[in-house]
Amino acid sequence: MTTLNVLILVCILYVVFLFAVAFAADRAALRGRGSWLRSPYVYTLSLSIYCTAWTFYGAVGFAARSGLEFVTIYLGPTLIMIGWWWTLRKMVRVGRSQRITSIADLISSRYGKSNLLAVIVTVLAVIGTTPYIALQLQSVTLSFAAFAETDLTATTLPDMHSTALWVAGGLALFTILFGTRNLDANERHHGVVMAIALEAVVKLCALLAVGIFVVWGLSGGVAATLDRIDASAIAHFEVSGSRWIGLTMLSAVAFLCLPRMFQVMVVENEDEDHLRTAAWAFPTYLMLMSLFVVPIAAVGLELMPEGANPDLFVLTLPLMDGRDGLAILSFLGGFSSATSMVIVAAIALSTMVSNHVVMPLWLYFSGGAAMVSGDVRHVALLARRLSIAGVVLLGYVYFRLSGGGTALAAIGLIAFAGVAQFMPALMGGLFWRGATRTGALAGLIVGAVVWIYCLFLPSFGPSMVLPQVVFDEGLFGLHWLRPRALFGSEGMDPVVHAVLWSLLLNTAAFVLGSLLSFPQPVERLQGAQFVNVFDHSGTPGGWTGGMAQSEDLLIMAQRIMGATEAQALFAEAAQRQGLAGYLPEPSPTFLQELERELSGSVGAATAHAMISQIVGGAAVSVEDLMAVADETAQIMEYSSQLEAKSQELVRTARQLRQANEKLTQLSVQKDGFLSQISHELRTPMTSIRAFSEILRDTGDLTPEEQSKYASVIHDEAVRLTRLLDDLLDLSVLENGQVVLHVQTGSLADLLDRAERAAGVQGGTLRVMRDRMAEAVALTTDLDRLVQVFINLIANARKYCDGQPPILTIRTAVVDGELVIDFTDNGSGIAPAQQAVIFEKFSRIGQHKAGGAGLGLAICREIMARLGGAVSYLPGQKGAAFRVTLPLSARMAAQ
């Protein structure tokens, strides 16, 4: 037989181990090498605080009383968990983006940071959780007592109250030690979470071990166990539909609303991605936890003596069989379930109590001066520690008062129904923008009153709090107000009855209140932030800075966050604003950021109130909101305008660059042109001058010599004139001042004219033509076109070095354009020069033919005027020019 002392020793060793784990995890997190602390499995395991001692001991008791119905308590959370995409994802996102510290904080933030709402939620949560904590203490003391009964060496049974007191004290110490290390509730309690995860493993292993022992050890296999279940009192699946569905729904709602679940699920959430693992892992955990419950209950009912407490079968079955080791493991499992629940619940409640009750009160009584004179950080921490102690103490007091008589499961369900009252406000807040503070207040109050009246007070038993006459005759003798048969709904299960009516009336009040009231501006902002959290994870507007004194803000922040953190935050903000030192401009952005940081420590409502005290005039009017909205719209408009402008600028810059390049080229061309022209003018001028000087100064010239010199002068003068004519022609053409004389003629005639004018007859050049194709009538400036042809033919005559030189003129109509190719059989033009032949003064090789190099330039200009083009055609085994002319200028021949 295990002595109590061994049990106590094991217990103390286990607690020491938990302290060590929590301490090590905190240290590891502090040193930044605790990546395993952030595993999704740790998150999943931490969720298992849903399974309290109620699950560990109570589920078997529940099953022993009403069979498989116990499973509804786990089906609800399973459904919520596999439906994470609906709600949990949104809750976690909102919790992270708004730096939510508790469920009271979430509801208060959503409804315009209303502290009244937070207080109501907090009070309701404390009322709902206190019995639950008492339940945990009770289960630990009961399990101690179960051991003590079997311990023959113990002379006296241990005092139940003192056991509970020891447990409560130890838990409070642990929670204060690891739950209030840092003030910022948003910072993860790595130590606590790690200890809880460990306890989750212990309780699962313990329950599975007991289950395996019962199935294979006591019953002799699966088949035998099934037979025993079939033979037991719970062999038949007899559940009422209303309880089955009602309890599943209630447990689902409670899973979302329980402050401790909110704490581990949302506040301690490290990474939204962890939900993905928890989505399947947590249902699996719950399934394993409930797998052996019915077998244990059935076997316990069969083997244990009549009147044995079924809540303790998990413990008493191994004890009865003399399996002390297993019994101790089982005890540790129950102990783990109880302690982890109390720890997290105490943290969650203390955050709520200190942020929403103690801090506002303290701020109120110490007045605005406290902002700059008191040590808020110290006060907040103290408030939280006292709250933890207070919450645990309250649980103990409840345990003492209630005497530990009621069945465990009953208390659990009552607590569930209490916190379920948060549901309409919570879900409405997350999914309905029309939900208002008035509605939430109305719903919460109505729900809480109905719950207290129909379930909480009657749970103490008739004549304890509510006199028997109220049960029988209703409140004030109104028959329809009987707490167990509201509005005449008789014969319902009390829990289902209370849940149904409280949630119905709660939701009705919430919806009606929301529909009939008009939300405050802050509420509307927050509503949009919450409901559309996936669209914009931005912050609500509202602070119009400028009046705030950065220094005051820093002083206040230091008191709340601690000097180093606050200074770092301010310095960073200042740096972002491009300022040196610690004092940033109190811009709205900065104020919002600061408010969020502070809300992590003292809750959104308090943070809002504190900043508003310094900033002054924090109330946001609709006009402000409109202004903010307008401003945003304007900024967006402005930024798109800016974008358009900058694109335009880029375009302009590109155009300017191109223009500049062109100008540079033109300048080079102009220089080249000037030097060319002076050269071209100078050459004939020089000979004219020389020969005219000879004529003037030399007396004895023969008439032949005179005639010869005079004709040289004449020729040079003609050449000069031609050059000037060409230049003039080109300038006229380039300036677009040319007047076209449109006439109609045949292409063949034009080519004939050009051939004659180019002096082909009598020369060596042979011209090959296709007269059939040339039977095309043209309506254009024929003289100008002929000028082009003359130029091209003359060029061939002058430069073609073929033996004998042949010029082929081909005419064709391609794509509605008249195409005339002038191809000779000479050596053609080198590719490098092809690009420049149409430039002014470009001449190929030595100018043996004495041209000025303007011909092709003029041709190009003419063709451009006529709407066509002249271009060099490469790859023709000789120089080839292509003249194209749109046929629109052509009249139909014949």
Burial (Cβ within 10 Å: 0-12, 13-18, ≥19) of residue 125: buried
Tokens linked to 573: 């903000």
Q: Is the Cβ of residue 269 or residue 823 nearer to another protein in the bound state?
A: 269
Piece of the chain touching another protein by CB under 8 A; list 284-292, 647-655, 764-772, 824-832? 284-292
- Work out the angle at residue 397's Cα, subtended by the Cα atoms of residues 394 and 400, and round it to the nearest 5 degrees: 155
Least distance to another protein from the beta carbon of 604, Å?
21
User: Any contact of residue 131 with another protein (CB under 8 A)?
Assistant: no
What DSSP state is assigned to residue 774? T
Q: Closest approach of Cβ 73 to another protein, in Å?
A: 13
Least distance (Å) between residue 465 CB and another protein: 35
Least Cβ distance, residue 97 to another protein (angstroms): 12
How far apart, in whole angstroms, are the C-alpha atoms of residue 735 and residue 865? 11
Q: Does 80 bind another protein (CB under 8 A)?
A: yes
Interaction of residue 92 with another protein, rule CB under 8 A: yes
Give least dist CB 239 to another protein, A: 7
Q: Is 531 in the site for another protein (CB under 8 A)?
A: yes
Q: How far apart are CA 343 and CA 263, in angstroms?
A: 11
Shortest CB 287 distance to another protein, Å: 4
Exposed / middle / buried, residue 619 (Cβ in 10 Å: 0-12, 13-18, 19+): exposed
DSSP tag of 215: I
Identity of the residue, 524 or 798, whose beta carbon is nearer to another protein in the bound complex: 524
The encoded tokens of residue 553 equal: 């803000």
**Exposed, middle or buried: residue 110 (CB in 10 Å: 0-12, 13-18, 19+)?**
buried
| Conformation bin of residue 879: beta by default, left when phi > 0, alpha when psi is -120 to 50 | beta
Q: Is 423 in the site for another protein (CB under 8 A)?
A: no
Q: Does 277 bind another protein (CB under 8 A)?
A: yes
Task: Tell me how far, at minimum, the Cβ of 484 lies from another protein, in Å.
Answer: 24
Measured from the CB atom, the residue of 531 and 733 that comes closer to another protein is: 531
Q: Quick check: 302 binds another protein (CB under 8 A)?
A: no
**How far is CA 434 from each of CA 200, 335, 512, 604, rounded to the nearest angstrom?**
40, 45, 11, 21
Interaction between residue 284 and another protein (CB under 8 A): yes
427 CB-near residues (< 8 Å, 6+ apart): 87
823's enclosing H/E stretch is strand 817-824
Q: Which of 248, 309, 436, 539 binds another protein (CB under 8 A)?
A: 248
What's the min distance (Å) between Cβ of 89 and another protein? 5
Among 127, 291, 320, 386, binds another protein (CB under 8 A): 291
CA–CA separation, 485 and 499 (whole Å): 12
Is there binding between residue 17 and another protein (CB under 8 A)? Answer: no
- Counting contacts by CB under 8 A, is residue 518 touching another protein? no
Residue 550 CA, chain-centre distance (Å), reads 31
In the list 149, 159, 230, 472, the residue contacting another protein (rule: CB under 8 A) is 230
Q: What are the tokens at 671? A: 């220089």
Q: Are 584 and 550 in contact (CB under 8 A)?
A: yes
Q: CA-CA distance, 815 to 257, in Å (whole number)? A: 80
Chosen residue from 86, 216, 460, 487 binding another protein by CB under 8 A: 86
Q: Does 402 bind another protein (CB under 8 A)?
A: no
Among residues 198, 163, 190, 161, the alpha carbon closest in space to that of 49 is found at 198
Pick from 216, 280, 487, 638 the residue near another protein by CB under 8 A: 280
Q: Which residues of 33-44 are buried (b: 16+ CB within 10 A; e: fewer)?
A: ebeebebbebbb
Give dist(CA 820, CA 493) in Å, integer.
106
Which helix (H) or strand (E) element contains residue 870? strand 869-872
What's the CA gap between 122 and 104, in Å, rounded? 6
Say which DSSP state 769 is in.
E
Question: 248 or 587: whose CB is closer to another protein?
Answer: 248
Q: Is 220 a binder of another protein (CB under 8 A)?
A: no
Binding mask 179-218 for another protein (x = CB under 8 A): ----------------------------------------
**Residue with Cβ nearer another protein (17 or 280):** 280
Of 532 and 731, the one with the shorter C-beta distance to another protein is 532
Q: Characterise 804 by phi-psi region: left (phi > 0), alpha (psi -120 to 50), beta (else).
A: beta
Contact between 524 and another protein per CB under 8 A: yes
Number of residues that bind another protein (CB under 8 A): 54
75 belongs to the binding site for another protein (CB under 8 A): yes
Residue 126 near another protein by CB under 8 A: no
CB of 181 to another protein, least distance (A): 28
Span from 47-55, 197-205, 425-433, 494-502 in contact with another protein (CB under 8 A): 425-433
224 binds another protein (CB under 8 A): no
How far is it, in rounded angstroms, from Cα 70 to Cα 68? 5
Quick one: which segment of 177-185, 426-434, 482-490, 649-657 binds another protein (CB under 8 A)? Answer: 426-434
Told to check if 93 binds another protein by CB under 8 A, we report yes
Looking at beta carbons only, is 269 or 884 nearer to another protein? 269
* Cα angle, residue 251 at apex, residues 247 and 254 outer, rounded to 5°: 135
> Strands 817-824 and 806-814: what pairing?
antiparallel
How are beta strands 777-780 and 743-746 bridged, if at all? antiparallel
239 binds another protein (CB under 8 A): yes
Is 166 one of the binding residues for another protein (CB under 8 A)?
Answer: no
Binding window for another protein (CB under 8 A); candidates: 127-135, 429-437, 584-592, 633-641: 429-437
Quick check: 78 binds another protein (CB under 8 A)?
Answer: yes
Question: Which window, 71-79, 299-307, 508-516, 680-688, contacts another protein (CB under 8 A)?
Answer: 71-79
Residue 491 buriedness (CB in 10 A; 0-12 / 13-18 / 19+) = exposed
Choose between 5 and 632: whose C-beta lies nearer to another protein: 632
CA distance 883 to 871: 7
Q: Does 245 engage in binding with another protein (CB under 8 A)?
A: yes
**Quick check: 241 binds another protein (CB under 8 A)?**
yes
The half-sphere exposure of 484 on its side-chain side, counting CA atoms within 13 A, is: 16
Residues lying near another protein in the complex (CB under 8 A) are found at 67-68, 71, 75, 78-86, 89, 92-93, 226, 229-230, 234-239, 241, 244-245, 248, 272-273, 275-277, 279-281, 283-284, 286-287, 291, 294, 431-434, 524, 527-528, 531-532, 534-535
